[in-house]
Amino acid sequence: MKANAGKRNVRSLGFEDLSKWVSEIGEKSFRAKQIWEWIWGRQARSFDEMTNLSIQLRTKLGNDFDFPVVSIDTFQVSRDRTIKNAFKLDDGNIVEGVLIPTENRMTACVSSQVGCSLTCAFCATGKLERIRNLEAEEIFDQVVMIRNQAMENYGIPLSNIVYMGMGEPLLNYSNVLKSIERITAPDGLNMSPQRITVSTAGIAKMIKKLGDDGVKFNLALSLHAANDAKRSKIMPINEHNSLDALEEALNYFIVKTGTRVTFEYIVFRNFNDELTDAKELADFCKKTKAKVNLIEYNPIDGGEFKNASEDKLEAFKNYLESKRIIVNVRRSRGKDIDAACGQLANKNEHAVVRLKKI
């Protein structure tokens, strides 16, 4: 991140570090709690907003600390009311985040990396270079701004958060977990961890680490094939994280956390849409007691895949349900503005749409 020379990012401090600084400059101890509340509870974006602090204290904060924030560079509104944001980071890099309104939910989809290193064949983000991990506060800021959009434009509070935007969350493990701690903390956004889902392409050792750390949020695995040869063809990460390795890691996670895992499965035409594929998926689900989200494929520039036919999708779903597997079909939102699953790739040539209250 860009930062002023010699200054620390104030949001990188823990409360004890902040309290120590307050003591060192001769301020009363309760000032640390006030500053902390402004940063995380009120989501201040500058020291000047901290109006119950003296001008002298705000000046000292500005002299010693940097306060980089994320801003909305451009946004687009889909015909289905989905809002895609291009978020500008303090160093000028761009990531995307999406507000997804449905009948029962208002969901924020956030990014965890600038770009991605996994090169999944069906994903637009996978065609980008991975530039860097996002800091915890940069993920936090995405959630805050999308939450504000939900209230300002639809009058409905944010209900869910999915780490399904740009990047692989488990390759930015510490910052992702820190962001979730701040999002769920009573002195942060105070959201329930059960309303948060982290989606991974499948890194076995990090899935086990989630179990060891006893996380309370939901875990989703982007599976897309329950056959190593097929999965490796579209997801190179499978070459070092085979289905057997993932099965072991997922069962370890489930035992440690007591949480049911969700498999995300994009149904591609003439690739993984046959009943033989459904049988392989059903067998793998039984090994891990997982439920399934079947996902429509969303075309990307230069992509080789097409969405499965509605008949194939329905037959696939019916087969899984006949095996007593919980199945949801996730219909794509925001396809007309490239905001749907797998489409985030910083297409900033689109015109900005002015938001109107709905």
Handedness of CA 120, 124, 128, 133 (dihedral sign): negative
- Pair 281, 321: CB distance under 8 Å: no
Q: What are the b/e assignments for 38-75, b being 16+ CB within 10 Å?
A: bbbbebbbebeebeebeeebbebbbeebbbbbbebbbb
- Pair 139, 187: CB distance under 8 Å: no
Name residue, tokens 């991140």: 1
- Closest to 92 measured CA to CA, from 28, 138, 158: 138
Query: 263 in helix, strand or coil?
Result: strand
Strand boundaries in 156-222, DSSP class E? 160-163, 196-200, 218-222
Residues that are catalytic: 96, 341
Task: Give CA–CA dist 88/69, Å, rounded.
Answer: 9
Q: Which residues fall within 8 angstroms of residue 314, CB to CB, at 6 or more apart? A: none
Could you give phi then psi for residue 235, rounded to 5 degrees? -135, 90
Side-chain-side CA neighbours of residue 38 (13 Å): 20
Task: Give CA–CA dist 56/31, Å, rounded.
Answer: 13
